[in-house]
Amino acid sequence: MTEPVIEIRNLHKAYGALEVLKGVDITAPQGHVISLIGSSGSGKSTLLRCANLLEDSQQGDVLFCGEPVTWKGRGLARHPSDHAQMIRIRTNLSMVFQQFNLWAHMTILQNVMEAPVTVLKRDRTEVEASARKYLEKVGIGDKCDVYPAMLSGGQQQRAAIARALCMEPKALLFDEPTSALDPELEQEVVKVIKDLADEGRTMLVVTHDMRMAREISDHVVFLHQGLVEEQGAPEQIFVNPKSERLRGFLSATV
Ligand code: ADP
Ligand code: MG
């Protein structure tokens, strides 16, 4: 079997006295979609942030394609080699946020091109061609020259997905990509995420959208108060949940 793209082992993360992750294990094999579900405050965003080194952790390991990337208690990017590693990890585990986080002063095309050109130092002409291709793919190929504020939330989130894709990452991390959107705009983003799942991309998706999670996931992880309470195939999680807490959570979300 090939090395998992992401492997999280016994991860612990606290903010001061607040223990947010209390020993979490998650594996994302190549080509699999893993959905992370759980109540607000259960540690889902923290987990994603630890996976791509936006956060440090206290104990446990994060492995990227078998390479250990956790910097226990050392703080992030203290050393130049740490910095290079951090860039490599963030490039390869591209993240899409709930609030899109597009740069307001840049056009959509510039947003998508920025990191490949300035961080990865890739050839501008090639990056532009690839940026246009990804914007086309997410259905906003005609919005290259406008600024984010001129787009709907759904279009902005699709631009953010194109931006993540343009890094040519090994995996995509989504943090509640549809929860800031009006219901009618949500579906256009869900469709893009489904297409990416069908392409066999490796993805770790935090979502409140149980229907999407059920449709796209190979594996679903239910996080409760910083621990994996139950995990399994979507049919197990959504049709035959074992844990009382998971049942409670599902009945409250539908
Ligand atoms: P979720 O994404 O599942 O809603 P989070 O990972 O955002 O949960 O948060 C888990 C817990 O950690 C919450 O209690 C939250 O208030 C706390 N938390 C998150 N980020 C920070 C931070 N930077 N500093 C202190 N506490 C934080
Ligand atoms: Mg969150």
Residue written as token pair 């130049």: 80
Pocket perturbation via mutation, ligand 1, pick of 37, 39, 45 by most ligand atoms within 8 A of CB: 45
Of all residues in the chain, what percent carry a pLDDT higher than 70?
Answer: 94
Residue 26, pLDDT above cutoff 80: yes
For the ranges 40-44, 77-81, 236-240, which has the lowest average pLDDT? 77-81
Closest ligand 1 atom to Cα of 42: 3
d(CA 16, CA 202): 33
**159-180 per-position pLDDT tens digit:** 999 999 999 999 999 999 999 9
Given a cut of 90, whether residue 73 has pLDDT beyond it is no
Task: List the residue whose alpha carbon is closest to atom 14 of ligand 1.
Answer: 41
* Of the listed ranges 74-83, 101-110, 231-240, the one predicted with least confidence: 74-83
- Residue identifier of the C-alpha nearest atom 25 of ligand 1: 15
Which ligand is the nearest neighbour of the Cα of 51? 1
Residue 179 CB–ligand 1 contact under 6 Å: no
Tell which wins on pLDDT, 3 or 245: 245
Q: What letter would DSSP give residue 54?
A: S
Question: Does 74 have pLDDT greater than 80?
Answer: no
Residue 43 has pLDDT above 70, yes or no: yes
- Which domains are present in the chain? 4-100+173-253 (3.40.50.300)
More confident residue, 33 or 2: 33
> 202 CB under 6 A from ligand 1?
no
Give the least confident one: 34-38, 67-71, 208-212.
67-71
Ligand 1 atom nearest to 55, measured from its CA: 23
Residue 43 and residue 129: Cα distance in Å, rounded?
38
CB of 164 within 8 A of CB of 95? yes
| Candidate of 8, 18, 47 to mutate for ligand 1, largest count of ligand atoms within 8 Å of Cβ | 18
Question: How far away, in angstroms, is 40 Cα from ligand 1 center?
Answer: 9
Instruction: Kindly report each contact of residues 138-143 with a partner whose C-beta sits within 8 Å and lies 24 or more positions away, as own/partner.
Output: 138/162, 138/165, 138/192, 139/188, 139/192, 140/108, 143/108
* 37 in contact with ligand 1, CB cutoff 6 A: no
Kindly provide the ipTM of the predicted complex, given to two decimals: 0.98
41 CA from centroid of ligand 1 (Å): 6
Instruction: Residue 169: name the closest of 69, 64, 47 by CA.
Output: 64
Which residue has tokens 């510039």?
Answer: 110
Q: Ligand 1 atom 5: the closest Cα is on which residue?
A: 43
Residue 90, both tokens: 């963030």
Please tell me the residue having the least CA distance from ligand 1 atom 6: 43
The pTM for the full model equals: 0.93
> What are the backbone angles phi and psi of residue 198, rounded to the nearest 5°?
-65, -30
Of 11, 12, 15, best ligand 1 pocket probe by most atoms within 8 Å of the beta carbon: 15
Q: What average pLDDT score do residues 3-30 get?
A: 95
| Proportion of the chain above pLDDT 90, given as a percent | 81
Q: Check if the beta carbon of residue 49 is closer than 8 Å to that of residue 20.
A: no
Least confident of 81-90, 142-151, 194-203: 81-90
Which residues, in sequence order, are CB contacts of 183 under 8 Å at separation 6+? none
